[in-house]
Structure 1
Amino acid sequence: MTTQIFETHRARLFALAYKLLGSRSDAEDVVQDAWLRWSQADHDSIRDPEAWLVTATTRLGIDRLRQARHERATYPGPWLPEPLQVDTAPPSGRDPEQHADLAGQVSLAFLALLERLGPEERAAFLLKEAFDYDYAQIAPLLGHSEANCRQMVHRARSRLQAGRPRFEVTRDRHRELLERFMHASQSGDKAAITQLLTANARLVSDGGGKVTAVIRPLLGAERIARLYWAVARRIGSTTQARIGTANGEPALLRWHRGRLHSITTISVDGDRISEVLTVMNPDKLRRWQHG
């Protein structure tokens, strides 16, 4: 019975841990630690198992996030979230609403934005916005007053809003721009890439110190275009690219000599691309190498 109760809530606990940490492996560790605590708890004294489990997972996640922030401060170059779900097939013909719902909750751009928040601020925001907890539930869970939790969520919304595109676009338009970017970057067409990007576009690549990647965010359409021009000249003929999905959103998947080389997603502001996020760290791609 103890195991059955936990398994009933496992998916929800994992979703919370992943959104808190942006890492599948860290989320799995947190859920495992929550299980160990649950298995050793006095269940006769627990009136609401779900609340107990969410509280345990949140507190374990906050502790792990504090540790991770120190680790990421010394990470070789920019750190990007680890994709949770990658589909190497194009999204057409699949359930577009399911993909859109997943992307809205855990898109790589959204998870990267969450890195701007402190651990407790991030937890308060996610519990309120993603899990629909009210402040009366969040306050004892985090050990703060309702007023403090309300303020944390307000600050989190403001910080995240500042990093979001000003103008939303349809999913079809998003994918169209990604496809055009794929073709332009594969051929190293500087003019086409520059035209697709906003003037102050930002590129972030995460190589984890294990593969060649830009070691700091690259700003400006022309600089980004020059980078892709150089990459295309160096390895363009040995790479293949296609559109798939990562965490439910359209993603550019590049393969180099038969191995998954990178997963790229974009943020679109109006009719141009404002941000390019590329996960290249092989540790974050290993799960889909043979997908």
Structure 2
Amino acid sequence: MLAMSPADPEAPSVFQQIIDIYVGPEIERRRTAGRLPDAFTLHAAQLICSADAVPNQIRLNDEVQAIALVRWNNEVPKELGDPVFPHEVEGIETIVLPETEDPNCGHATLLRFGGQWYVAFDFRYNRGRSLELLAKAEQFRAAATRAHAAAEWSAFAFNLFTAMELAAKAELLVVPDPNLLNAKSHRTVHSRINKSAHLGNVDLEHVSAFNELARLRQDAAYSMQPFEVAAARAEELLEAVVAFLERVRARAGSRRLPSGHRPARFSPSRFPLVTR
């Protein structure tokens, strides 16, 4: 997620692009349809982009759903539901979608506060699906850990590869790709994750572990010969998968703001602010 304050040198151009391409035309459509008055004043706008074949949503003013993390400029105590006024805030650090929004959508949110516009956007798609895949991957990783402790090498290799493959798919899904989303073959994920590594988007160490586990899985499941993995190498592969899972989880992220903050209500509109 990227949040831009008014002081950011790129903020005006990003703001203007969103206005010109999405918000301005939406305002004109609504005016033409008689759904907006000529004297309409914009104080917030939001673009919601779906990873599926669903048209973009453009929201205006009180239609916008967002939560902001702000910095206080005083020590005025606030309780849940208390209004927050511009003179009480130094600036807005982060703007995220609430948990009630589709977790697989990206967004760009424009918010006018204290006479200045703030811009935030996050175009990581399929976050909900990625987190579901990571939850499954963690189950297979746990099974691989148990197999590792018992020196059950076929089960170790099979489960650890499955964990790595699910995590790789979760990593790739942040960029919308219907073919990948519905892919049922190992080949699709294998080719995409290797291509992503060549582009510098994934650590070569992690992809090397993925490729090695793919080969080990084949022998573990289908070879008629005795199968085992050297204990030291098994430990290294397990560590690589754990690290990759952590990386993908961090990239997929969460819409939850950091803990320990106090919710308060943005006035005069309906934006919840979280303060620290």
Normalised to the residue count of structure 2, the TM-score between the two structures is 0.25
More helix by share: 1
Normalised to the residue count of structure 1, the TM-score between the two structures is 0.24
Q: Highest Rg: 1 or 2? A: 2
